[in-house]
C-alpha cells in the first residue's frame, strides 16, 4: 500500500485507508497502552484528537500517527518518548494521534501508511520521510532540514475544505465499523449477512443520490430536444414578427397603388365623356352644315333656267341626293 501511495495513486490510497479504518475495530481495545484522552500530557507527548487537533496550526510540531497493533509503531515508541523529552530544548511540541480512535484525523492528514510523521510550522505541513532514530529526528529540527522539504499542497492541507471532506469520509467509515460491530456482536447476525445489508444499503443510497443528481442536472442543463423545441418556437415567433413588420409597408404600398389606379380610371372616364361630348357636338355641327349646304344647292338649282327633259331629270336626281344628304 505504501508503494502505491508513493506512485501517486492517491485515490487507491484513500480506498485502502477507508478499509484500514474499517478493520481497526478489533485492535481498538489494545489502544489503552499508548493513548489517553485528547489533550492529556503523558510523558511529554501530547495526545491529539478531533477536539484539539487545531493546536498544530500554531507553533512548531512533530506529529506521529500510529496504531497500537502496528509493529513499526511499537518499535519507535521509546524513541518518540525520548524525542518528546527534548522538546523544550528543541523549542518544539511532540504529539501523537491514535488512528484507531481518531479516524477523522487520519483522513484529514490523509494517512495511508503507519507510522506517519508530520512536521508543522505555523500551519505549514511537511511529511517527514527520514530515519526514525533519535539523532535524525533531533537533527531534522535543530538543523532546520525541514526547510528543504516541499510543503504539503494547499488543497491537501489539513485545514483545507477538501480535507474536511476527507475527514468526513473517514468518520463515516468509523460509523460503519461500529454498526457492523453492533450487528455481529450485539444482535448476533452472521458476518456475511451484515455485509449483504451494507451492500444493499449502498445500492439504495447510490440510486437515490443518482436520481437527485439527474434531476438537478436536468434542471440546470435541459435536454437538447427540449432546448431545440424552445429555440424553434422562439425563431418562429421572431419570424412572424418580422413578416408582420414587412407586410405593413407592402399593404400600404398596395393601397396607394389601388388609389392611384382608381384616380386614373376616374380621369379616363371623365376624358372619355369629354371626348364623347365633343364628338357629339362635332357631328351636330356637321349635320347643320350639311343641311345648310343642301339648302343652298337646292336654291342654286331652282334658280337655274329649265332646259331639256334630260337636264330636268338630272336636276331632280341632284335635288333628291341633296335632300337625302340633308336628312
Residue 17 is assigned to a structural domain of this protein: no
Give the per-residue pLDDT at 28.
39
Based on the domain organization, do 82 and 129 belong to the same domain?
yes
Q: Could you give the angle at which helices 134-142 and 77-85 cross, rounded to 10 degrees?
A: 40
| Mean pLDDT score across all residues of the chain | 73
Cα separation values, 31 from 26, 77, 83, 232, Å: 10, 13, 21, 69
151 and 198 housed in the same domain? no
C-alpha cell of 132?
A: 526514525
Of 201 and 218, the one with more pLDDT: 201
Question: pLDDT higher for 327 or 79?
Answer: 79
> Residue 113, Cβ neighbours under 10 Å: how many?
18
Within-domain flag for 233: no
Q: How many CB atoms lie within 10 A of CB 62?
A: 25
Q: Is residue 78 part of a domain?
A: yes
207 vs 172 pLDDT, higher one: 207
- Structural domain contains residue 318: no
**Residues ≥6 apart with Cβ < 8 Å to 112:** 1, 2, 5, 13, 14, 16, 17, 20
The per-residue pLDDT for 36 is: 44
- pLDDT at position 5, please? 40
pLDDT at 218: 80
118 and 205 belong to one structural domain: no
* Share of residues in the chain with pLDDT > 90 (%): 22
pLDDT of amino acid 7: 40
Q: Does residue 145 share a domain with residue 51?
A: yes
pLDDT score of 97 more than 60: yes
Judge residue 214's burial from the number of C-beta atoms within 10 Å of its C-beta, 0-12 exposed, 13-18 middle, 19 or more buried.
exposed
Active-site residues: which are they? 70, 73
- How much is the pLDDT for 262? 65
Predicted local confidence at residue 104, as pLDDT: 82
Tell whether 60 and 144 lie within a shared domain. Answer: yes
Please tell me the least confidently modeled range out of 98-107, 253-262, 300-309: 300-309
pLDDT of residue 157: 78
Give the model's pLDDT for residue 238.
76
Rounded Cα gap, residues 47 and 53, in angstroms: 9
pLDDT of residue 234: 74
Are residues 53 and 156 part of one domain?
yes
pLDDT above 70: percentage of residues in the chain: 59
* pLDDT on residue 29: 36
Sorting pLDDT into bands at 50, 70 and 90, what band is 41? very low
Is there a domain that residue 168 lies in? no
Q: Based on the domain organization, do 153 and 204 belong to the same domain?
A: no
Q: What is the pLDDT of residue 327?
A: 55
Are residues 60 and 155 part of one domain? yes
Residue 10: is its pLDDT beyond 80? Answer: no
Overall number of domains in the chain = 2
120-151: b or e for each residue (b if 16 or more CB lie within 10 Å)?
A: bbeeebbebeeebebeebbebbeeeebeeeeb
Residue range 155-172: average pLDDT?
75
Q: Are residues 78 and 130 both part of a single domain?
A: yes
Q: Which residue has the higher pLDDT, 185 or 234?
A: 185
Query: Could you identify the residue written with the cell 329649265?
Result: 306
> 134 is in which domain, residue-wise?
46-161
Q: Are residues 52 and 150 in the same domain?
A: yes
Least confident of 15-29, 186-200, 250-264, 305-319: 15-29
Rounded CA gap, 52 and 55, in Å?
6
User: Domain for residue 65, yes or no?
Assistant: yes
Angle at Cα 109 formed by Cα 177 and Cα 160, nearest 5°? 115
Question: Residues 51, 148: one domain?
Answer: yes
**CA distance linking residue 129 with residue 290, whole number of Å:** 144
> Is residue 271, in this structure, part of any structural domain at all?
no
Examine the domain organization and report whether 78 and 132 are in the same domain.
yes
In a domain, 264, yes or no: no
pLDDT reading at 32 higher than 50? no
Q: Please calculate the CA angle 17-103-86 and round it to the nearest 5 degrees.
A: 105
Tell me the pLDDT tens digit for each residue of 107-161.
888 888 899 999 999 889 999 998 999 999 999 999 999 999 998 888 877 877 7
Check which CATH number belongs to the domain holding 104 and give it. Answer: 3.40.30.10
Write out the three cell numbers for 263.
384616380
Task: Tell which of 220, 236, 253 closes a domain.
Answer: 220
Amino acid at each position: 500500500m505504501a508503494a502505491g501511495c508513493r506512485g501517486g495513486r492517491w485515490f487507491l490510497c484513500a480506498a485502502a485507508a477507508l478499509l484500514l479504518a474499517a478493520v481497526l475495530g478489533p485492535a481498538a481495545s489494545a489502544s489503552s497502552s499508548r493513548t489517553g484522552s485528547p489533550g492529556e500530557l503523558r510523558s511529554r507527548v501530547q495526545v491529539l484528537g478531533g477536539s484539539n487537533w487545531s493546536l498544530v496550526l500554531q507553533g512548531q510540531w512533530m506529529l506521529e500517527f500510529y496504531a497500537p497493533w502496528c509493529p513499526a509503531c511499537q518499535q519507535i515508541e521509546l524513541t518518540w518518548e525520548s524525542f518528546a523529552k527534548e522538546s523544550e530544548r528543541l523549542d518544539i511540541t511532540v504529539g501523537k494521534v491514535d488512528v484507531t480512535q481518531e479516524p477523522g484525523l487520519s483522513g484529514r492528514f490523509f494517512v495511508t501508511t503507519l507510522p506517519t510523521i508530520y512536521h508543522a510550522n505555523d500551519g505549514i505541513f511537511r511529511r517527514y520521510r527520514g530515519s526514525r532514530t533519535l539523532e535524525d529526528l533531533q537533527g531534522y529540527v535543530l538543523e532546520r532540514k525541514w526547510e528543504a522539504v516541499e510543503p504539503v499542497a494547499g488543497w491537501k492541507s489539513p485545514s483545507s475544505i477538501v480535507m474536511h471532506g476527507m475527514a468526513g469520509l473517514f468518520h463515516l467509515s468509523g460509523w460503519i465499523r461500529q454498526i457492523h460491530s453492533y450487528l455481529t456482536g450485539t444482535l448476533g447476525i452472521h458476518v456475511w449477512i451484515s455485509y449483504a445489508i451494507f451492500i444493499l444499503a449502498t445500492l439504495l443510497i447510490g440510486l437515490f443520490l443518482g436520481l437527485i443528481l439527474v434531476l438537478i442536472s436536468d434542471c440546470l442543463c435541459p435536454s437538447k430536444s427540449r432546448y431545440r423545441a424552445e429555440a424553434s418556437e422562439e425563431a418562429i415567433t421572431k419570424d412572424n414578427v418580422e413578416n408582420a413588420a414587412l407586410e405593413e409597408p407592402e399593404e400600404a404600398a398596395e393601397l396607394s397603388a389601388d388609389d392611384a389606379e382608381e384616380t386614373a380610371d376616374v380621369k379616363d372616364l371623365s376624358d372619355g365623356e369629354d371626348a364623347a361630348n365633343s364628338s357629339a357636338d362635332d357631328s351636330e355641327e356637321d349635320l347643320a352644315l350639311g343641311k345648310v349646304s343642301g339648302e343652298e344647292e337646292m336654291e342654286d338649282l331652282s334658280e337655274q333656267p329649265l332646259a331639256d327633259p334630260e337636264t330636268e331629270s338630272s336636276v331632280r336626281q341632284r335635288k333628291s341626293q341633296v335632300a337625302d344628304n340633308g336628312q
